[in-house]
Amino acid sequence: MADALFWIGGGLIVAGAMLSVLGAAGVLRFPDVYTRIHAASLTDTGGATLMLLGMGLLGPFGLITLKLLLVWAFIMLTSPAAANALANAAFGSGHRPRIGNFQIMGEDKATDAAPESAGKERA
């Protein structure tokens, strides 16, 4: 039983680490701020969930589990909020997505006429 828990927990930790690496690759390779935020925030919360769950299965049950739960709750609360605020600030300061159609409420044209993406055609 304990052996099975060890392997499941270790497997979850490795899976979380792989998700983190994938997210980092996305942050490195994606074309603009918004896609990068998407990659980072999703894999941060997902990777953290998997890894902390794995650690909870590995460790002794008790105060440590409670602390792991606290760390998880904290990351689940702050990471999406920070990503949201970041995307909001980036959009407000004039960055426009490079991929896909979008329309800003109150503006008539749906373009990417932004200082940041000038000279780059919409994909």
Instruction: Summarize as ranges the residues that interact with other proteins (CB under 8 A).
Output: 7, 9-11, 13-14, 16-18, 20-21, 23-25, 27-28, 33, 36-37, 40-41, 44, 47-48, 51-52, 54-55, 58-59, 64, 67-68, 70-71, 74-75, 77-86, 88-93, 95, 104-107, 116
Contacts of the segment 83-88: beta carbons below 8 A, 24+ positions apart: 83/37, 83/40, 83/41, 86/37, 87/33, 87/34, 87/37
Choose between 28 and 110: whose C-beta lies nearer to other proteins: 28
- Give the C-alpha separation, 71 to 19, whole Å: 18
Taking the complex as a whole, how short is the minimal distance between the CB of residue 82 and other proteins, in angstroms?
A: 5
Taking the complex as a whole, how short is the minimal distance between the CB of residue 89 and other proteins, in angstroms?
A: 4
- Give the C-alpha separation, 66 to 54, whole Å: 14
